């Protein structure tokens, strides 16, 4: 079952079902990380913490990936950052609480409905999000370009007559 949830650059542990939700431990496959400030590689681990990421549901179960994120010392004496956090694989956006595929799935229907209705529908398909999170997901979408505006028409109706 774990192979279904593969994420590039991430090792997944044995999934457990806790309170009806699937919980999967995850770790970076890399033995080093690259400093986000000076781009030097480091193997010296400072600390780690667990980041819980919502992933796509399996059957009717919510899925969370419990990613262990490590902090490293930067060895470059000229770098202003002494400790930095490793960046997860390409399928996880920095600081995000969900995988990219989960965000993309939510965006497909949240763009069509209100935040409250989107939250309701997302909960029905085991992707629980609050209305405010639904709004943030839609807000993060790029505004589509409609090209250059050449003609702007304004229609004024009869208000209050009749
Ligand atoms: Zn550095």
- Which of 82, 97, 159, 85 shows the shortest CA–CA distance to 132? 97
DSSP 4: G
What tens digit of pLDDT does each residue of 38-97 get? Answer: 999 999 999 999 999 999 999 889 999 999 999 999 999 999 999 999 988 788 888 889
Q: Residue 108 belongs to what H/E stretch?
A: helix 100-110
CA of 50 to the centre of ligand 1 (A): 23
Between residues 158 and 9, the one the model is more confident about: 9
Cα(76) to ligand 1 centroid in Å equals 6
Q: Which residue has the tokens 């969900």?
A: 98
Tell me how far the alpha carbon of residue 32 lies from the centroid of ligand 1, in angstroms: 13
Please give the pLDDT value at position 124: 92
Enter the pTM of the model: 0.76
- Mean pLDDT, the chain, whole residue set: 88
Tens digits of residue pLDDT in 111-136: 999 999 999 999 999 999 999 999 99
Residue 161: per-residue pLDDT:
54
Q: Where in the chain are the domains?
A: 1-87, 98-142
Place of tokens 């590039």: 8
State in Å: Cα 39 to ligand 1 middle. 6
Q: Ligand 1 centre from 43 Cα, in Å?
A: 12
Ligand 1 center from residue 36 Cα (angstroms)? 7
How far is ligand 1, taken at its centre, from the CA of residue 159, in Å? Answer: 64
Å from CA of 121 to ligand 1 middle: 44
Residue 4 clears pLDDT 70, i.e. is over it: no
Alpha helices in 43-99 (DSSP H): none
């Amino acid at each position: 079952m774990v192979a279904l949830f593969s994420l590039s650059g991430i090792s997944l542990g044995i999934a457990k079902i806790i309170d009806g939700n699937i919980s999967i431990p995850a770790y970076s496959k890399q033995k080093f990380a690259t400093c986000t400030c000076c781009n030097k590689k480091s193997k010296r681990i400072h600390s780690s913490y667990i980041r819980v990421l919502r992933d796509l549901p399996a059957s009717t179960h919510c899925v969370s990936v419990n990613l262990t994120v490590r902090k490293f010392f930067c060895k470059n004496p000229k770098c202003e950052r002494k400790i930095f956090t490793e960046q997860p694989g390409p399928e996880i956006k920095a600081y995000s609480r969900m995988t990219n595929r989960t965000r993309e799935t939510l965006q497909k229907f949240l763009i069509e409905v209100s935040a409250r209705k989107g939250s309701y529908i997302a909960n029905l398909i085991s992707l629980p999000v609050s209305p405010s999170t639904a709004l943030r997901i839609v807000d993060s979408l790029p505004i589509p370009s409609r090209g250059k505006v050449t003609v702007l028409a304004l229609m004024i109706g009869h208000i209050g007559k009749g």
